[in-house]
Structure 1
Amino acid sequence: MPSLTFWLAYFAFGAAAGVIAGLLGVGGGIVVVPALYWFFTLQGFSQEIIMQMALGTSLAAICFTSVSSFRAHHRRGAVLWPIVKTITPGILVGTFAGSCVAARLPTGFLKGFFVCFLYYVSAQMLLNIKPKPSRQLPGKAGMFGAGATIGAVSSLVGIGGGTLSVPFMTWCNIPRHTAVGTSAAIGFPIAVAGTIGYIINGLGTANLPSLSLGYISLPALVGIAGVSFLTAPYGAKLAHKLPVATLKRVFALFLLAMATRMLIGLF
């Protein structure tokens, strides 16, 4: 059982993850995964499974965060449910397959992949790189392929997919606020499929810590999800009032610092 210090840390990062998920549409997993990696390291989790535990627990927490977030966006009419319906089959297949692959990859590779992804996201946000809205949404086959790709990458980095689904929808002429709200809804099937995958692939694994369900740490899940579910609606509300572009640049610098710290840890 984690100490009081770790419970407080889970609550703090859960609160931050909820606000970020609702405000920036990038997924609270961007913050939660590196935080969990450090917390689990301090608790003595086996290095062989520590990234799988961080990724799986992050996705399990997003199951709750995404519901709270997309409900808040739905109340503001910012969720395009036909897109969610069309892209979900690909999301489910890609995310579950990605979690099965991640369960068999070494921690070093997963950590390196996550560091590269952090640098990509921070550069995208810092430079305000946005695809030009130059096409319409593809047909069912194209949406399945896009969903599978978004889901697979999301499962490898433990996020709700916003850093990929928002640019995709922007490219397809979906207004940004609507893309963010729709992305929050898409995060739910990503989280569910990823959670199931990390549970199934983690069952019976050696060196699992106590109070784990597969690659899900139940204390971390309770601490993070319990608070992020409450704070996500505030982030969604702030997204319609605050200068999100400026906040993204500040957040990008924070991501750069986290990515660099993790990169140093690889060596």
Structure 2
Amino acid sequence: MSELLNQWPIAIALIGTGVFAGLLAGLFGVGGGIVIVPVMYFLLQGFGVSAESAMMIATATSLATIVPTSISSIRSHHAKGNVDVALLKYWAVFILIMAIVGSLFAQYVRGNGLTFMFAVIAILVSLNMLFRANAPALREELPGKFGQGIMASIVGCLSVMIGIGGGTIGVPMLTAFNVRAHVAVGTAAVFGLLIALPGVLTLLTVGQTPSDAPIGTFGLVNVPAFLLIIPLTILFAPLGVKLGSKLNPKQLKRAFAVVLMFTGIRMLTQAMGV
């Protein structure tokens, strides 16, 4: 990717992506993938990569960044007792299996299909942040084992296909069933590792590198972009936690939700060829 990274605009944009993703993770418990995927998607197109290839590379590279950030997050949340170990013992198997299935299946879905999926989920996440931030739980407790297996499978499969961690889908899903917010965020951090690790290994080894992929892309993972983004994401996540205690998180969350809404709509229209 030397030709790409020799261009200052994209290098600066990727650095900014790492900073922003880390801050968001600390402020809201939102996985960095929800930021990294759309930024890389549009950036790569600006440097001559097709929309379909850009989406596949963006999702795979995003998963790669989630592995180290989720490990850091898990350690922090576990120390505070915010990880539901009992729930994980049951959900982990479903998430792992469906993460592998989803990463394999994603290679047979056209890039526009993945873009459409990401856009729809981004819009739903933004709506949830705007209108359900303080809404009461839908149910008082989680469903039975069968229902939880379905929930875990959805988290694993959808998340890995569009390059996001466990928090984007997992946190609102758990809080809707009356799981405390801090526990939901901490447990979803483990989801992220269970999703990203098998997903990125699959996409590194089995994924077919597109012909128009930038230099430095192995399988579907772009290593230079990973190396630029990851240290900043890890560095700025703790700062996001500190800022959350000093700033007005509700106003920040609304602003981010609006930006995410417009990003989702823009990706949706592109995927539909509008």
The answer to whether TM tops 0.5 is yes
Question: 2:22 touches 2:240 (CA, 8 Å); kept in 1?
Answer: yes
Q: Distance in 2 between matches of 1:240 and 1:207?
A: 44
The equivalent residue for 1:176 is: 181
How many residues matched? 267
* Among candidates 233, 253, 260, match of residue 258 of structure 2: 253
Question: 1:90 touches 1:143 (CA, 8 Å); kept in 2?
Answer: no
The equivalent residue for 2:153 is: 148
1:64: how far off?
A: 1.6
Q: Distance in 1 between matches of 2:175 and 2:143?
A: 13
Q: Percent identity?
A: 37
Q: State the Cα RMSD in Å.
A: 2.2
Per-residue deviation, residues 75-106 of structure 1 (Å, max 9, x unmatched): 33322233233311111111121111111111
Per-residue deviation, residues 29-75 of structure 1 (Å, max 9, x unmatched): 11111100111112222444221101001111111221222323333
* Among candidates 62, 66, 69, match of residue 58 of structure 1: 62
| Residue 234 to residue 76, structure 1, CA distance change in 2 (3 Å) | farther
Q: Distance in 2 between matches of 1:173 and 1:239?
A: 23
| Residue 94 to residue 131, structure 1, CA distance change in 2 (3 Å) | farther
> Is 2:15 the partner of 1:18?
no
The equivalent residue for 2:129 is: 125
The equivalent residue for 1:98 is: 102
The equivalent residue for 1:42 is: 46
Question: 1:72 touches 1:236 (CA, 8 Å); kept in 2?
Answer: no
The equivalent residue for 2:165 is: 160
The equivalent residue for 1:86 is: 90
Per-residue deviation, residues 156-213 of structure 1 (Å, max 9, x unmatched): 2211021221122223332112211221222111111221232233246544332111
| Residue 252 to residue 48, structure 1, CA distance change in 2 (3 Å) | closer
Which amino acid in 1 is paired with 2:93?
A: P
Which residues of structure 2 form unaligned runs of 5+?
none
Q: Structure 1 stretch 203-212 or stretch 248-257: which is displaced more?
A: 203-212
Q: Structure 1 stretch 3-12 or stretch 35-44: which is displaced more?
A: 3-12
| Residue 147 to residue 131, structure 1, CA distance change in 2 (3 Å) | farther
Q: Distance in 2 between matches of 1:15 and 1:86?
A: 34
Divergent runs of 4+, >6 A: none
| Residue 204 to residue 19, structure 1, CA distance change in 2 (3 Å) | closer
The equivalent residue for 2:215 is: 210
1:131: how far off?
A: 5.9
Question: What TM-score results when the alignment is normalised by the length of structure 1?
Answer: 0.90
Question: What TM-score results when the alignment is normalised by the length of structure 2?
Answer: 0.87
